[in-house]
Amino acid sequence: MSLINKIFCAIVLLLSLSIHSQDLTDKEIESLQTSIDASLSSAQNSINNHQYFKAKQYLDLALEDANTIDNKKSLGLVYSKLGKVNYVLEAPNEAIKMLIKASELQRFAKDDINIAETYKTLGDVYMYNKEYVKALDYYISAETYFKQEDLHNYETESVLKKGKALLAKGDIRKAIGVFEKAIDMAKQYQLDKISSAALFSLAEAQLKQGANVKDALKNATNGFQIAKENNFSDILNEGYLILSNLYEKDNNLKLSNLYLKAHMKLSDSLLQVKRAYITFGQNQFLIANQTEFQNQGKANLEEEAKTNNTFDQLTTILSIALITILSLLTLSLYKNNNIRLKSNNILHKKNSELIVAMEKAELASRTKANFLSTVTHELRTPLYAVTGLTNMLLDEDPKPEQVQHLKSLKFSGDYLLTFINDILQINKIEANKVDIEPEVFNLRKKIANVISALNNSALDNNIKLHLEYDEELPLNYNADQLKISQILINLIGNSIKFTKDGDIWVRTKKINEKNGVYNILFEVEDNGIGISKEKQEHMFESFSQGSIQINRKYGGTGLGLSIVKGLIDILKGKIYLKSELGKGTTFFFELPMKYTEEVIKEKDVNYFKDVAEVELNNVKILVVEDNKINQMITKKILNKMKLNCEVVDNGEAAVDKVKNNVYDVVLMDIHMPGISGIEATKLIRAFNKDLTIFALTAVTIEDKMKEFDDAGFTDIISKPFKQEDFEKKLFEALITNQNA
């Protein structure tokens, strides 16, 4: 075969590889996937046997096959293992490139288990590079993913590594807390190796903190015993050094020197073993490649010997020219490819860092939500006592000089509850947890009811409220009337607060209508103190008010308008204002609302107005509440309603009571010692499906609604509750039970 023919064949082969058929059959794809799995398995076996260069060969084969079928999950796994091998072979920069590429592919493939392992390895590499902040970020991400997948052994290892990163960057106090958590988890899941390492790390952190040396020695000794019993060489190596430092601190130089020698001996031994593995693998790799090269050279010489040595001059010139062109093209492609790879690696790295930052932000958001939920529960529980006791005292004919004090106390309790509810509402709006709940209602009547409810407050400030309803507007709509009421209550209430001896106008106007959807303009105008130009731009921000002086004089949290803006955005509307100092303010907001011809069903409200309908003496109510003050308040409220009750202070007792007695209603607290109210309700529902069980709780209802429904609660009463709402729900339940 002539040289030109050979070159031509080579070009054709290269072209055929570059445009490799993408139309693989299912059988071919399955065969390639089997080959990938086999190569990955062989690579893992080689890694386990410390044959890292051999592992790289298997991984290169798997990478080629995975690229052929474009399997993102397999590609991610291959790059992850290549990153790990490069890390072991002390090539951290190459390892980072591989691992970042792996994490991107695994995110695309939603391979959460393997992305967790990739993040953990990235943390190890950054620890090796002494980039402790980045290492910490990746360990936290790994811990989160392992926790999601219930892989507790890997989760515990990530917690331990997180502690080591904190310790390395100097945050000793946090590191100690994390090590203690790792020890608890290791004991729980019986992970001796992690338990041993965590005890040593805790001792090291206590030493750096300057804590009691005896405590640190106790932890290190416990870790040493576990490592010694299980022959954990790498843990022992680290432990010997920590024990040496501790005994030096304790002025026991003999033991310090003994452990230091043990550390140096074991460290040298481990290092020699590692070098032996790497050197042996490298030699095997080079020998194999050299043998292959020599065999190939021998074959080429034999073939060349058989070929005619005389070539035409023209053929030689053409061959040289073609080779030169191909070489230049190859060099150009190589340079371009290097530039592209370098740019891609930078982008991949930055993208990975951004994703980790996003995950940290999401974690912070979840932590904030959990914190708010916990804090509001803790605030609502004593508020239940404050509002309940105040209402009782007001109903028990207090002395005339005490009435004003009790009313002030009631006002303060109501104000604090409103503030808590406003914070929760803002939090839900920011977290996009507010759902639209449309229902049919009469808009004119709804606005009139809001004005009527606020009229007493207006009269206190000598204000007249006026309603102007556009005659072109229909009355009935299918929309979220509760949110519209909230918007109007906030805006009208705001105008009442900042107006004295004046008027407030509430107007509705039709903007346009299309396919039964009306765009309606609402106006709330007052002639109060007005708002300055510079303050108008920030009026819809949280905690924003006109000035400190206004806050001191008129009170309020500054959350009302922020809530209004959030609700209007959810309803796909818009809000704006016009104001002038000393001349008043007008708030405008536009909302799309769907007209309906559906008939509105009036709801009958009849609770405890005719107690003859219920045989109160026969009603049996069980109150499940662990707080003694709340027990007393709930019992007094029920007694005032001429109802008797029994009280128990835990979930187990409640289940036993319901098993052995007949009750009409159970009022179940949620947070109690022993089993919770939710667990108690589930147990009751196993043998009694029909009993009325109310969740009497201070938790945020919207966040727990599904959990309450799944447990089997009939309804939920939020503490602190309005007494009329409590009476209404209780009465309706008793009437339903009697009629059943």
Query: pLDDT tens digits, residue range 430-483?
Result: 666 677 888 899 999 989 988 887 888 888 889 999 999 998 899 999 998 888
pLDDT value at position 607? Answer: 46
pLDDT per position as a tens digit, 161-187: 988 889 888 888 888 888 889 898 988
Q: Which residue has the higher pLDDT, 611 or 445?
A: 445
How much is the pLDDT for 706?
A: 72
Q: Which CATH number among 2.40.100.10, 1.25.40.10, 2.40.50.140, 1.10.540.10 corresponds to the domain 151-281?
A: 1.25.40.10
Query: Hey, which bits of 407-502 come out as E strands?
Result: 439-442, 464-469, 476-479
Paired sense of beta strands 476-479 and 584-595, if any? antiparallel
User: Following CA atoms 134, 140, 146, 148 in sequence, which dihedral angle do they give, to the nearest 10 degrees?
Assistant: -130
Looking at residue 297, its pLDDT comes to 42
- Classify domain 439-595 at the CATH class level: alpha beta
pLDDT score at 15: 42
pLDDT band at 507 (very low <50, low <70, confident <90, very high): very high
pLDDT at residue 294 above 60?
no
DSSP 179-224: HHHHHHHHHHTT-HHHHHHHHHHHHHHHHHHT--HHHHHHHHHHHH
- Measure Cα distances from 647 to 384, 627, 629, 651, 653 in Å: 17, 11, 12, 11, 10
Q: So what's the pLDDT on residue 286?
A: 41
- The pLDDT value recorded for residue 657 is 92
Q: How high is the mean pLDDT of the chain?
A: 77
Q: Once rounded to an integer, what is the mean pLDDT over residues 708-732?
A: 76
Judged by average pLDDT, the poorest of 221-230, 701-710, 724-733 is 701-710
CA angle 494, 495, 496 (to 5 degrees): 90
**Beta-strand pair 517-526/476-479:** unpaired
Residue 291 has a pLDDT of: 42
Question: Which is more confident, 598 or 553?
Answer: 598
Distance CA 225, CA 312 (A): 82
Burial group, residue 252, by CB count within 10 angstroms (0-12, 13-18, 19+): middle
- pLDDT computed for residue 450 by the predictor: 87
Whether residue 610 has pLDDT greater than 60: no
CATH number for the region 611-739 comes to: 3.40.50.2300
**Would you report the helix, strand and coil content of the chain in percent, each value rounded to 5?**
70, 10, 20
pLDDT digit string (tens) for 135-152?
888 889 888 888 888 888
Query: Computed from CA positions of residues 256, 260, 261, 263, in that sequence, does the dihedral angle turn out positive or negative?
Result: positive
3-state secondary structure 382-418: HHHHHHHHHHHHHHCCCCHHHHHHHHHHHHHHHHHHH
Q: Closest by alpha carbon to 491, among 540, 549, 429?
A: 540
pLDDT given for residue 594 in this prediction: 92
Predicted confidence band of residue 519 (pLDDT cuts 50, 70, 90): very high
| pLDDT greater than 60 at residue 331 | yes
pLDDT in the model for residue 431: 65
Give residue 601's pLDDT. 61
Span 24-146: which CATH code?
1.25.40.10
Give residue 274's pLDDT.
Answer: 54
Position 681 confidence tier, pLDDT thresholds 50, 70, 90:
very high
pLDDT of residue 107 exceeding 90, the answer is no
702 pLDDT above the threshold of 60: no
Choose between 309 and 650: higher pLDDT. Answer: 650
pLDDT at 523: 94
pLDDT of residue 270: 60
Closest to 176 (Cα-Cα) out of 212, 133, 228, 152? 212
Are 496 and 503 in contact by the 8 Å Cβ rule? The answer is no
CA 542-561-497 angle, to 5 degrees, is 115
Closest CA to 244 of 236, 253, 235: 253
18 versus 500: the higher-pLDDT residue is 500
Q: Which one of 323-327, 430-434, 493-497 scores highest in mean pLDDT?
A: 493-497
Rounded to an integer, the average pLDDT of 580-604 is 82
Exposed / middle / buried, residue 393 (Cβ in 10 Å: 0-12, 13-18, 19+): middle
Output the CA torsion sign for 472, 477, 482, 484: negative
